[in-house]
C-alpha cells in the first residue's frame, strides 16, 4: 500500500525532473494524434526520449498535467487499491491531463485509465514494452486508444541535433553512434551498455520470470553481433544452455516487444511459409549495436543494411526480405500493396553488381514494380532495362528525404 502523502511527494519530486526542458523537437510530433476520450499511447525503446517528447507536446497545449512515472522505486509497492488515493491526489491538484510512464507495471492499470477517460480526463501513457500495453488495451480499452511508436533519433534528427550536414561523413558518424539522446549528449559508451542491461533485466528477465539471465544476455549479444544474418530458433537450440527452441522463440518475442531486436520474415503469400522460413535479425539502434556487439571490425555493410531497416521500419508496418531467383533486402508494404523495393550495398562494383542488381530486378518482376532502389554508402547512378528503372542512391540522400 502507498499512502496519498507518499504519492504526493513522488509527484512533486518527479515534477522537477519532468519540467526540465529539451529544446530539440522530434519529427514524430507531426504524427501525433489526440482525440477526446481516447488514451494516447506512446511505446518505444527505453531511453529513446518518449517522456521528453510527450512533455514538449503537452507543454505546447498548456494543459494542467499531472505526471507520474511508476518505475520510481518509491512506488514499488503500488497496488490496484492505491489508484483510489491517486484519484484523490489528481482531484486535489485540479489536473485535467494525466501522463503516466510505465503504468503497465501495476496490475489493473487499464481499469483505472478507462475510469479516468469516462471522467473526461485526457490520458497519455508511455511504455517500453509493446506487448504488455497491447494485451491490456485489448480488453478494457478496446476502441478507446490511439497508439504510436517512438524510435531513437533518425538520421535526419541526428544531423539536426548535432548541427551537421547531410553527407557521407555525418552518415558514418550516425552508423557508429545511433540515436539514443543521452549517448549523443555525452558520448559515454557505458550508458549504452547499461541500457542494454536494463532492457534485458528489467524489461525482460524480471517481467517474465527468467532465472537464467546469463543465457538471456549471451543470446542477445549473439543476435546483436549478427545483424543482417539469417537466424532461427531451431538452429540456435542448445546454444548457451538453452535446450528448448520454444524457449528461444519466447526470448525472440521478448527482444522484439522491448524494441531491442527485430526479426524480418521472408515474403510469402502463405503465413505458414513465412513462419517456417528463416528470419533476418536487426537491432533497433546502431549505438546499441556498436557498444554491445562482439564484432570488432567496422562491418560497414551490415551496419548500413541495419540502418536502412530501421528507417523503413519507422515508415512501414509490413516489411519482408525477398528470395526467389535472386534476393532483395527489403520489401516495404502498406495494406498488402508494395510501396518500395530496396537493396542495400555498401559499395557496388564489378564483383557484386550482378548479384545486387539481379536480386532487386527479380523482386521488381515478381511484384510488377517498375522502380527499385539500391542504397549505397556514397554512389549514385541510374540503370534502365526492359522497362525497369534501378537507381543507385547514397544512403545520406535516401535517409534525408
284-294 burial code (b ≥16 CB/10 A, e <16): bbbbbbbbbbe
SS3 per residue for 107-134 = CCHHHHHHHHHHCCCEEEEEECCHHHHH
Do 340 and 334 meet the contact criterion of CB atoms below 8 Å apart? no
**Shortest CA distance to 288 belongs to which of 25, 51, 47?**
47
Do 276 and 249 meet the contact criterion of CB atoms below 8 Å apart? no
Residue 254 lies in domain: 154-297
- Give the whole-angstrom CA distance, residue 249 versus residue 125: 28
CATH number at residue 124: 3.40.50.300
- Give the whole-angstrom CA distance, residue 380 versus residue 163: 25
Which of 297, 328, 347 is the last residue in one of the domains? 297
**Shortest CA distance to 268 belongs to which of 366, 388, 343?**
366
Tally of domains in the chain: 3
Do 167 and 394 meet the contact criterion of CB atoms below 8 Å apart? no
Torsion angle, alpha carbons of 226, 227, 228, 231, to 10:
50
Do 368 and 260 fall into the same domain? no
Q: From the CB of residue 89, how many other CB atoms can be counted at a distance below 10 Å?
A: 17
Which of 104, 122, 150 is the last residue in one of the domains? 150
Which of 150, 180, 196 is the last residue in one of the domains? 150
Query: Which residues does 161 contact at the CB level (< 8 Å), separation at least 6?
Result: 24, 153, 181, 184
Do 110 and 166 fall into the same domain? no
Q: What is the pLDDT along the chain (401 residues), one digit of tens a residue?
A: 899 999 999 999 998 776 556 778 899 988 888 898 999 999 999 999 999 999 989 988 889 999 999 999 999 999 999 999 999 999 999 999 999 999 989 989 999 999 999 999 999 999 998 876 665 565 667 778 888 999 999 999 999 999 999 999 999 999 999 999 999 999 999 999 999 999 999 999 999 999 999 999 999 999 999 999 999 999 999 999 999 999 999 999 999 999 999 999 999 999 888 889 999 999 999 999 999 999 989 999 999 999 999 999 999 999 999 999 899 999 999 998 999 999 999 999 999 999 999 999 999 999 999 999 999 999 999 999 899 999 999 999 999 98
Do 108 and 16 fall into the same domain? yes
Do 199 and 87 fall into the same domain? no
Do 21 and 139 fall into the same domain? yes
- Give the whole-angstrom CA distance, residue 246 versus residue 262: 17
Do 280 and 210 fall into the same domain? yes
With cell 549528449, the residue in question is: 185
* Residue 304 bridge partners (DSSP): none
Q: How many CA atoms lie less than 13 Å away from 343 in the CB half-sphere?
A: 27
Residue 401, C-alpha cell as written in the block: 528525404
Residue 55, C-alpha cell as written in the block: 512533455
Amino acid at each position: 500500500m502507498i499512502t496519498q502523502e507518499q504519492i504526493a511527494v513522488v509527484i512533486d519530486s518527479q515534477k522537477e525532473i519532468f519540467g526540465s526542458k529539451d529544446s530539440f523537437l522530434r519529427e514524430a510530433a507531426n504524427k501525433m494524434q489526440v482525440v477526446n476520450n481516447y488514451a494516447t499511447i506512446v511505446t518505444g525503446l527505453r531511453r529513446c526520449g518518449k517522456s521528453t517528447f510527450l512533455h514538449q507536446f503537452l507543454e505546447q497545449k498548456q494543459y494542467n498535467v499531472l505526471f507520474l512515472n511508476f518505475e520510481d522505486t518509491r512506488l514499488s509497492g503500488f497496488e490496484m487499491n492505491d489508484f483510489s488515493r491517486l484519484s484523490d491526489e489528481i482531484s486535489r491538484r485540479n489536473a485535467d491531463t494525466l501522463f503516466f510512464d510505465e503504468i503497465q507495471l501495476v496490475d489493473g492499470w487499464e481499469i483505472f485509465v478507462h475510469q479516468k477517460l469516462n471522467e473526461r480526463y485526457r490520458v497519455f501513457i508511455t511504455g517500453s514494452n509493446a506487448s504488455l500495453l497491447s494485451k491490456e488495451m485489448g480488453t478494457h480499452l478496446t476502441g478507446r486508444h490511439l497508439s504510436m511508436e517512438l524510435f531513437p533519433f533518425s538520421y535526419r534528427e541526428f544531423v539536426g541535433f548535432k548541427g551537421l550536414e547531410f553527407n557521407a561523413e555525418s552518415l558514418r558518424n550516425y552508423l557508429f553512434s545511433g540515436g539514443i539522446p543521452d549517448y549523443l549528449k555525452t558520448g559515454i559508451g557505458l550508458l549504452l551498455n547499461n541500457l542494454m542491461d536494463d532492457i534485458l533485466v528489467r524489461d525482460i528477465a524480471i517481467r517474465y520470470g527468467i532465472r537464467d539471465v546469463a543465457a538471456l544476455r549471451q543470446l542477445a549479444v549473439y543476435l546483436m553481433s549478427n545483424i543482417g544474418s539469417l537466424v532461427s530458433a531451431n538452429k540456435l537450440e542448445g546454444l548457451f544452455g538453452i535446450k528448448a527452441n520454444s524457449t528461444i522463440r519466447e526470448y525472440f518475442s521478448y527482444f522484439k516487444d522491448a524494441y531491442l531486436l527485430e526479426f524480418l520474415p521472408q515474403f510469402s503469400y502463405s503465413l505458414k511459409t513465412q513462419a517456417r522460413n528463416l528470419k533476418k535479425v536487426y537491432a533497433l539502434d546502431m549505438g546499441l549495436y556498436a557498444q554491445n556487439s562482439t564484432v570488432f571490425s567496422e562491418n560497414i555493410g551490415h551496419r548500413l543494411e541495419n540502418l536502412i531497416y530501421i528507417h523503413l521500419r519507422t515508415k512501414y508496418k509490413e516489411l519482408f526480405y525477398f528470395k526467389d531467383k535472386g534476393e532483395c533486402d527489403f520489401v516495404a508494404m502498406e495494406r498488402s500493396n508494395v510501396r518500395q523495393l530496396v537493396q542495400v550495398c555498401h559499395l557496388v562494383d564489378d564483383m557484386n553488381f550482378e548479384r545486387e542488381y539481379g536480386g532487386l530486378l527479380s523482386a521488381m518482376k515478381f511484384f510488377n514494380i517498375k522502380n527499385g532502389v539500391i542504397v549505397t554508402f556514397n554512389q549514385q547512378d541510374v540503370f534502365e532495362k526492359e522497362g525497369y528503372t534501378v537507381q543507385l542512391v547514397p544512403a545520406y540522400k535516401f535517409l534525408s528525404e
